Structure 1
Amino acid sequence: MELKQVFANEIVKHSNELLTLLDVKKQIEIPKYNKQGDLAFPCFVLAKHVKENPANTAKKIAIKMKHPLFEQVVANGPYLNCFLNKTVVSKNVMNTILQQGSRFGSLKIGNGENITIDFSSPNIAKPFSMGHLRSTVIGNSYANILEKCGYNPVRINHLGDWGTQFGKLIAAYYYWGDDEQIEVNPIQELLNLYVNFHKEANNDQSLETEARKWFLKLEKRDVKATKLWNWFKEESLKEFKKIYDLLDVYFDSYDGEAFYNDKMDETVNILKSKGLLTKSDGADVVRLDEHDLPPCLIKKSDGATLYATRDLTAAIYRYNKYQFAKSIYVVGHEQSLHFQQVFLVLKKLGLNWAGNMQHLPFGFILKDGKKMSTRKGKVVLLEKVLEEAVMLAAEKIKDRNPNLENQSEIAKDVGIGAVIFHDLKTDRQHNVEFSLEEMLRFEGATGPYIQYTHARACSILRKSEKVMAGNIIGLEEENSWSVIKQLYNFPFNIQHCLDQGKPSILASYLLDLCREFNKYYANQQILTEDEQQEQRIALVHCTAVVIKEGLRLLGIKAPEQM
């Protein structure tokens, strides 16, 4: 249990439960000075309940506070100051990590239940841009965290492989396409065609009409249109899989939008049979007036289905196939209204699992403060970014450690890890400013800083002849204490990530752990031969275990040398 939670439990118990556990926990502080203890609780609100001086309330509760993890709890004016038992806490956490290894922090709360998680979902026939990085790495990390907590994540890549844009692309192909160029560099040439179509369509509206005709042919399975569409998809998936391999991301399903084409009529019929469809300007909609939301469009006046129809169909299909306990969509915040509407329509259908749908929104990746746009050609290709990041990482590693073995493999781990961490350290709901220079710094809040700290810990362990196997008696050195507290709270941070759907919580935790470990390393001779040497080496080992596992959950490798 998290240290704050232990302290909060005792306060609630010894104050006649006048405050809830949540209220108490929110008020617990970390004292600024070590002499004030490890945790502190202000008694002002509690004293108000019993109508007495807060200092008196603090004195009364302090006398009662006894726990194996507490050295002592003292009243300091209106505050309860808790001094944790360093030996007991350090012995507890280090022996647990030594015994469990990478299993440390695992939570058995999922009971093997399926959770579908829909993420990445790029559009075929377009390059995999930096704009798709966020969904990919947030979704991948959250799937890892779900697994760590005992769930079975079903990773779904709902490809954007249908829609009017394919009519535009086919029209552009027939107007300006060059087979030889397309065969050499398919994705870039298709992007050029797509951008050129929009440029020309600004001056020639007939192009839009032509595009609609081609998409109608595609919907009717016209041989030429279907052949081109299949070719676009195959080439796109080849390119996408190169990037997924670099990022070490995999999926259990690549069923995209087109997969649901023959399943949507059934969804529309179910909505009709439940009396949920009404007409609005010739379109079929489900009204959501009672929620103060605009109607959910199901069919256009020309009979064409929409994203909502497809997502409703996909949700029903996924539940029937996977019997999920929860279904999660890692999609940008601009789609928040869409998912609100889809989830409410599922509830209106009376589906007992409809309350288990969750949208995890995220902000944009910005370049020079502006959103990237494929339509205007203002796009940064993710593959190029990853290649450049690996190249820059190789240069930095060569400068720092020219004799290092396996430099190319380590540069790949560091460069790609830097890109992933730069994204994940930011709260998913905030925007991220793209900056390769910022990503690859070895100091500060970066992926290379955390990887370097892990490599430093591994270097110490290589120099030591001690083999850690448990039965550690506990550390008593003052400067090790901040590292111990960080290690103790690793499982809590996993739980917090799960509850909030935010890998950024884990990224922040790893930065804090590394800062405290590096302070410890700077101030303590770890390999000095004395009675505490084995405990210090155990602390280094435990830190390396937790950093490596934390990075794995973020989707980042942990090199042992850098």
Structure 2
Amino acid sequence: MDAKQIFVQSLYECMDGNLEKERLYSLIEKPKQAKMGDLAFPCFELARNYRKNPQEIATQLVEEINSIYFERVEAVGAYVNVFLNKALFTKKILQQISKEKTNFGYSNLGEEKVITIDLSSPNIAKPFSMGHLRSTVIGNAIANIAEKVGYKTVRINHLGDWGTQFGKLMVAYQKWGNEDQVRANPIKELLQLYIRFHEEAEVDTKLNDIGRKWFKRLEDGDAQAEELWGWFREESLKDFSRIYELLGISFDSYNGEAFYNDKMDRVVHELQQKGLLIESEGAKVVTLEEENLPPCLIQKRDGTTLYATRDLTAAIYRYETYHFAKSLYVVGNEQTLHFTQLSYVLQKMGYNWAKNMKHISFGMMLKEGKKMSTRKGKLVLLEEVLQEAIQLANNNIMEKNPLLEKKEEVARQVGVGAVIFHDLKNDRHNDVEFSLEDMLRFEGETGPYIQYTHARMNSLLKKGGYRETNNVSVVDINEAWPIITRLMALQDTVMKAYNASDPSKIAKYLIELAREFNKYYANVRILGDEENKQARLQLVYSVKTVLKEGLRLLGIQAPDAM
């Protein structure tokens, strides 16, 4: 039940279609002070159509609006302010949540159309660092949110399993590698070899040429190069799968860059046929002068391919395979130019669906104000952070609730949840400074705070012998009203998070809802009054249901006890 939609309908019926419902909805505000009402509509935009000043329009609308859902309607300057019928909305919302449960807040906007989401996409033969966390958890949350508004999603882990860096790694392994050591601890050893290559290449620049030649051998199907590459890839996937399992994230496709090797010739040929491929200093490019962009490089002088070649091929493959309505790329801010070029090249090729491709950019994970770098060894390993968070959660459990059942499972849910929430509560466009201390705090605006609120409510329901019912009684209206208004805002919040591709809107909503409940809990004896106990527990159940669903949208589990 959406109070804003009810308000919109009331306004629309009084306006003779002077503004579309979608525009009315976008204009509705929440007054800064509760004494001014629950919702407000500014009449400035109507002044031109009505040829009256906004204050007169507001007064006229107040006289015409009549709804059982409003206790009163007032004109305050150029605003129409409404006070909602608290008892009616409270009853309707609690009944709706009891009936719909985790489906509460769902909408069918997407009509089961497909969205492909390119996320995570780590490079093989390198450890999974904190730098990869953002794409992984932001992308997964966006997928969950898109499903909540009615889309089908295809999560694609476009592995970085091709490119010149593998030629460099092969050179490093042959020069300084030890097979037994690599087999015993592949990712750690390969990382050290990769770092050493770049250190040595600063002195001996010829190493870079040798690395490029080895990658060319790999592209040409050299057996030795392919054997090394296959080994590096297999070991990496084993390592990654362990981390994805910890995060609770799965994928529909692991087709990485190498998957498109035998499909790129078609795209290069098509570019040539359509007269889009131009030779420039021995390389082949698509010019984008009309779009005020630099040319998009398709092939180097030596014939090797680039990211653009593979991403063009991947985009076409994904459209032909999944027939997507939208295609999202959850990749850092620094790749904005690349994805802008990608879309324009595809449109020049005649693929109008490329307009539905969107780069979901995000800020970097910084360490001491600087970007984390694999080649310089400035890495914080994600698995180590997750394990440390889990250990801290376990220590807290042993100190505060040593008799808790399933301690290890709860510690994992809380520790991993702390790391995910710390990322997702930030606007995705902002850089995030890595701080283990901040990430693992268990109070304030954190995942564990919301999880603990959920667990507390679960305990109340058990102690109170909650009996689920649709026959809702309404008590403590004034004390509960801030909670009810937050519950009503779920669907609107989900829509805003979807439209902005920004999970932080869900995270902030959960913090506000948990805070409002904890204020209520501090002021109302939920189990102290037998006559009204079940009515209060109905409210507890509703908040618990919404908190759990909100955490799920972020990719975080909600323990029943902590």
Paired position in structure 2 for 1:280: 280
Measure, in 1, the Cα distance between the counterparts of 2:13 and 2:143: 37
2:93, 2:487 within 8 Å by CA — same for their partners in 1? yes
Paired position in structure 1 for 2:403: 403
Alpha-carbon offset, residue 180 of structure 1: 2.1
Paired position in structure 1 for 2:181: 181
Change (3 A) 1:156 1:299: same
Which region of structure 1 is more displaced relative to structure 2, 13-22 or 88-97? 13-22
Alpha-carbon offset, residue 78 of structure 1: 4.4
Which region of structure 1 is more displaced relative to structure 2, 326-335 or 470-479? 470-479
Paired position in structure 1 for 2:213: 213
Paired position in structure 1 for 2:41: 41
Unpaired segments of 5 or more residues in structure 2? none
Letter in 2 for 1:234: E
Paired position in structure 1 for 2:524: 524
Unpaired segments of 5 or more residues in structure 1? none
Matched, 1:489 2:489: yes
SS in 1 for 2:160: coil
Measure, in 2, the Cα distance between the counterparts of 1:102 and 1:288: 47
Paired position in structure 1 for 2:198: 198
Paired position in structure 1 for 2:364: 364
Measure, in 2, the Cα distance between the counterparts of 1:33 and 1:315: 49
Alpha-carbon offset, residue 423 of structure 1: 0.7
Measure, in 1, the Cα distance between the counterparts of 2:48 and 2:220: 73
Measure, in 2, the Cα distance between the counterparts of 1:53 and 1:109: 36
Alpha-carbon offset, residue 342 of structure 1: 0.8
Letter in 2 for 1:446: T
Measure, in 2, the Cα distance between the counterparts of 1:44 and 1:293: 40
Matches within 5 A, 1:289-368: 289-368=289-368
1:86, 1:475 within 8 Å by CA — same for their partners in 2? no
Letter in 1 for 2:257: E
Measure, in 2, the Cα distance between the counterparts of 1:321 and 1:107: 26
Measure, in 1, the Cα distance between the counterparts of 2:193 and 2:63: 76
Paired position in structure 2 for 1:83: 83
Measure, in 1, the Cα distance between the counterparts of 2:311 and 2:76: 58
Matches within 5 A, 1:122-201: 122-201=122-201
Matches within 5 A, 1:251-266: 251-266=251-266
SS in 2 for 1:294: coil
Letter in 1 for 2:222: D
Letter in 2 for 1:66: N
Change (3 A) 1:27 1:324: closer
2:244, 2:250 within 8 Å by CA — same for their partners in 1? yes
Measure, in 2, the Cα distance between the counterparts of 1:223 and 1:341: 35
The superposition leaves residues 37-64 of structure 1 with CA deviations (integer Å, 9 ceiling, x where unpaired) of 2123344554576565654443322121
The superposition leaves residues 257-291 of structure 1 with CA deviations (integer Å, 9 ceiling, x where unpaired) of 11111110110011111111112222211111111
Alpha-carbon offset, residue 401 of structure 1: 2.2
Letter in 1 for 2:421: F
Paired position in structure 1 for 2:545: 545
Change (3 A) 1:184 1:436: same
Paired position in structure 2 for 1:227: 227
2:216, 2:304 within 8 Å by CA — same for their partners in 1? no
Measure, in 2, the Cα distance between the counterparts of 1:54 and 1:327: 42
Alpha-carbon offset, residue 456 of structure 1: 1.1
Matches within 5 A, 1:378-397: 378-397=378-397
Measure, in 1, the Cα distance between the counterparts of 2:340 and 2:159: 21
Which region of structure 1 is more displaced relative to structure 2, 310-319 or 140-149? 140-149
Alpha-carbon offset, residue 432 of structure 1: 1.1
SS in 2 for 1:143: helix
Paired position in structure 1 for 2:555: 555
Alpha-carbon offset, residue 143 of structure 1: 1.3
2:70, 2:84 within 8 Å by CA — same for their partners in 1? yes
Matched, 1:67 2:67: yes
SS in 2 for 1:263: helix
TM-score, structure 1 as length reference: 0.96
The superposition leaves residues 364-385 of structure 1 with CA deviations (integer Å, 9 ceiling, x where unpaired) of 0111221100010001100101
SS in 1 for 2:262: coil
Measure, in 1, the Cα distance between the counterparts of 2:19 and 2:156: 43
TM-score, structure 2 as length reference: 0.96
Q: Give the length in aligned residue pairs.
A: 562
Measure, in 2, the Cα distance between the counterparts of 1:365 and 1:217: 35
Paired position in structure 1 for 2:442: 442
The superposition leaves residues 212-265 of structure 1 with CA deviations (integer Å, 9 ceiling, x where unpaired) of 221122122222211111110010000000000000111111111111111101
SS in 2 for 1:383: helix
Measure, in 2, the Cα distance between the counterparts of 1:3 and 1:207: 66
Matched, 1:415 2:415: yes
Alpha-carbon offset, residue 436 of structure 1: 2.2
